[in-house]
Amino acid sequence: MKARAKYQTWIRIRKLLIFLVISVILLIVTLLPINLYLRVLSGFLSLPFIYIAFLLSYSVYQFATFGGNYQSKIHDLIVAKVIWDGEGKILDIGTGNGSLIIKLAKTFPNSVLTGIDYWGENWEYSKAQCQQNAEIEGVNERIHFLKASASELPFNDDEFDIVVSCLTFHEVKDRRDKTEVIKEALRVLKPGGVFVFLDLFMDENIFGDEKELINNIKKHGISELNSSKLAEEIKLPKLLLGKKVLGNAMIFDGRK
């Protein structure tokens, strides 16, 4: 029996389990023969944990292949926006489990690809998992996976023909100004090269004012920049449109 690639969702299961356990403990307290006030308080405190646990569980289901498969659908959307002859080098920033970069490798069989990610214990996928997935999918000979921070890419200026990133920039912890992380991604893109970035660009707490962000990016040697809300590009379930999930998601694509 042929092995199947494992593409975990963006949601961290450990985080989900923590909220589930806290919810259960607080609910158990409400059933104990103790002071009524403590039982009521415990029940009240359980509500936000139950809500978050439900939202995370629902998101896992919708993103996973056994559910709505929206993680794969979003990656398909990004790949579709890469208008290119297929000859050259692709960089995927925040490659995660390798799903997006493997789709790109299959779509552009004459390309050479690099996937970078910080991975680490805080995440539930790894470089080894990416390599295994690429091998199972038959594209491992053309993909190089490298551990690195998106804030300081270990590449020369103008090195790649295509640069993509999906929900990564907002996770970069070593740069407070996320615009600098976007500029770093554009630094390694060749003049005339194509970029497709999906992130929570409408979240002002992370990226600041949307119009100001777009203007700052345009100043960084960009010849073409298109922006669209993810919800306008793909039909998403209502709960995924919440601000805590993909409600602030936008796609920036264009050319340098």
Which CATH code of 2.60.40.10, 3.40.50.150, 3.40.190.10, 3.90.420.10 fits the domain covering 71-255?
A: 3.40.50.150
The rounded mean pLDDT for the chain is 91
Distance CA 167, CA 241 (A): 15
Domain ranges of the chain: 13-63, 71-255
User: What six digits make up the tokens of 14?
Assistant: 């450990």
Coil, strand or helix: which one is 80? helix
Give Cβ neighbours of residue 198 (< 8 Å, ≥ 6 apart): 74, 78, 165, 166, 167, 230, 249, 250, 251, 252
User: What tens digit of pLDDT does each residue of 68-107 get?
Assistant: 999 999 999 999 999 999 899 999 999 999 999 999 999 9
Give, for all 256 residues of the chain, the pLDDT tens digit: 567 878 877 777 788 889 889 999 999 988 888 888 888 899 899 999 999 989 888 888 999 888 899 999 999 999 999 999 989 999 999 999 999 999 999 999 999 999 999 887 666 788 889 999 999 999 999 999 999 999 999 999 999 999 999 999 998 888 888 999 999 999 999 999 999 999 999 999 999 888 899 888 888 888 999 999 999 999 999 989 888 789 999 999 999 9
Where does the chain have alpha helices with state H? 13-31, 36-63, 70-80, 99-107, 127-136, 178-187, 204-207, 210-218, 230-233
Q: Which amino acid is at 129?
A: Q
pTM of the model: 0.89
Residue 85: exposure state from Cβ atoms within 10 A (0-12, 13-18, ≥19): exposed
